[in-house]
Amino acid sequence: MAKRFENKVVVVTGGTDGIGLTTAQAFAAEGAHIYITGRRQERLDEALKEIGDGVVGVQGDVSNLADLDRLYARIEKDRGRVDVVFANAGVSESAPIGGIEEDHFARVFDINVKGTVFTVQKALPLMSAGASIILAGSGAGSKGFPNLSIYSATKAAIRSFARTWTADLQSRGIRVNVVSPGMILTPAMQTYLESNAGIEDWMKQTIPFGQIGKTKDVAKAVLFLASHESSYVGGEELFVDGGFVAV
């Protein structure tokens, strides 16, 4: 049986752990040539071993445009094209209104919003009709959580990008969609649960499905949005959250 992404060139930013790593592994299992980014070279090297054959790591920070230029220069030299971009790199930090510092605002917007914009824009010269862009959103972009106003605003911006870029890119045949995870058991989530007694029980009671999601749940949604199976889907936000936002 043919693999869905045989010989496709796929970019996954923030691909060294959590959702990014699991998604890169899923693409690799489907025959793709994967390029992942990460800020720490040591962790990037570990991720390459975990993903296996067909993956290239390019160290860099998506908020640094020179790093993105290095990424796409490498891809252009190696493959000459990009078929899928999963703009996954992001950061979550909390601060209450009244306690928001300028560096907090700048850091979260630089990585989540600026980084997403230029991850996509710099890929476009290598993309052609049939290509797919998936942006990493969050349920926090649609619901209000205390202390997360800046992070949530960045994810609302990303939701807006999918709409406007769908209009911008319609003539080129490039699709743009958002995958918005809810409460997913990433390494960061695990650390959060361990340091906040009782929060896991609260989450399970709040989520209609009664359980915290797995990174593979999100990876499956990303691969769907990247594949021809979703060829008539554009500008949409796919929540992977056990019904949390909808219910």
Query: Of residues 35, 72, 151, 192, which has the active-site annotation?
Result: 151
- Give how far Cα 150 sits from Cα of 103, 106, 107, 184, 245, Å: 12, 10, 10, 20, 19
Residues 162 and 100: their CA atoms lie apart, in Å, by 27
Q: Please, are residues 233 and 176 in contact by the beta-carbon 8 Å criterion?
A: no
Sheet-wide strand order for 132-136: 55-59, 33-38, 9-12, 84-87, 132-136, 175-181, 237-240
Which of 31, 24, 26 lies closest to 5, judged by CA? 31
Query: Is 232 annotated in the active site?
Result: no
**Amino acid at the residue 146:** P
- The angle at the Cα of 137, spanning 132 to 143, to the nearest 5 degrees, equals 145
Catalytic residue ranges: 151
